[in-house]
Amino acid sequence: MTGTRLQGKIAIVTGGSRGIGAAIGEAFAAEGARVVLASRKDEELDRAASEIAARHPGAVRAKVCHVGRPAEVAELVAWVEREMGTPDVLVNNAGTNPYFGPLLDATEAAFDKTFEVNLKGALACTREVVRRLVARGMPGSIVNVASVMGLAAAPLQGVYGMTKAAMVSMTRTLAVELGRSGIRVNAIAPGLVDTRLSAALVTNPELRRAFTDRAPLGRHGEPAEIADLAVYLASGESSFVTGQTFCVDGGYSIA
């Protein structure tokens, strides 16, 4: 199934090799965007890009990038501009969660790595894209993939939750600062979704039920259910929407 909701858009999706990022890349390509998937590992990245390209020829390319390294982020966005044109959609989806346990027991290394990727990486990517959009007087859409763990207490995932709470704050601030330039900034806060990042929760019946028993819909989500909202936020359909964080969590956050 193909559409035209993102026809003419050039989009960068970080963390695009699997899970939510790959699903967003697929959905964007299906709606007519030209998409660059970015991730740290070239083998998984190339596989994801090839699978999407098989269904949407010419719509997707892959570029290795560690978003926690500013020089690589700068090269990624410069490469996209040289090869395809100025990107007008950015999805900050790359994330990591190396530590699971009490917040006070988190090591400095785990703390630094989580903030480096989840927050500093998203800000670096946004800076590089926005700089080009403003210079050219172009509108754009930034979509940050946060988490319900950033909207409430996050026991055993405290460091991860802190980065996502900061991402929500960053979303609001950038929406105010960039709105007059025609650049919209929004966030998606997924609940428990079946991805490799959340595998420790999804595959553990007791931990999984802590989410699914509370959520009114009684189940975990799938990556494609997050991608549908990302398409809306990247498209002109959301032209009057900025600074918002949308929970996609089966109702977990309201229970």
pLDDT in tens, 86-102: 999 999 999 999 999 99
Mean pLDDT of the 154-175 span: 97
Residue tagged 């699971």 (tokens): 100
Q: Report how far Cα 204 is from the mean position of its chain's Cα atoms.
A: 25
What percent of the chain clears pLDDT 90, i.e. is strictly above it?
A: 85
pLDDT score of 200: 67
With beta carbons less than 8 A apart as the criterion, state whether 160 and 115 touch. no
88, 140 contact by CB (below 8 A): yes
CB-based burial of residue 57 (10 Å sphere; 0-12 exposed, 13-18 middle, 19+ buried)?
exposed
Residue 74 pLDDT: 98
- Give the CB-side neighbour count of residue 151, counting CA atoms within 13 A: 18
Domains present along the chain, CATH in parentheses: 10-254 (3.40.50.720)
Which of the following is catalytic: 99, 160, 232, 252? 160
Distance CA 183, CA 234 (A): 11
What is the average pLDDT across 113-132? Answer: 98
Look at residue 205 in the predicted model and tell me its pLDDT. 76
Mean pLDDT across 194-204 = 71
The predicted structure's pLDDT at residue 203: 76
User: Residue 207 CA to chain centroid, in angstroms?
Assistant: 24
AA letter at 23: A
Q: According to the model, what pLDDT value does residue 172 have?
A: 98
Active site residue 232: no
Model confidence pLDDT, tens digit, residues 203-248: 777 777 888 888 889 888 899 999 999 999 999 999 999 999 999 9
Show Cβ contacts of residue 213 under 8 Å, excluding neighbours closer than 6 positions.
none
pLDDT beyond 60 at 188: yes
Residue 115 has pLDDT above 70, yes or no: yes
* Six-digit token string for 184: 């919209």
* Cβ neighbours of 254 (radius 10 Å): 10
Predicted confidence at residue 198, as pLDDT, reads 65
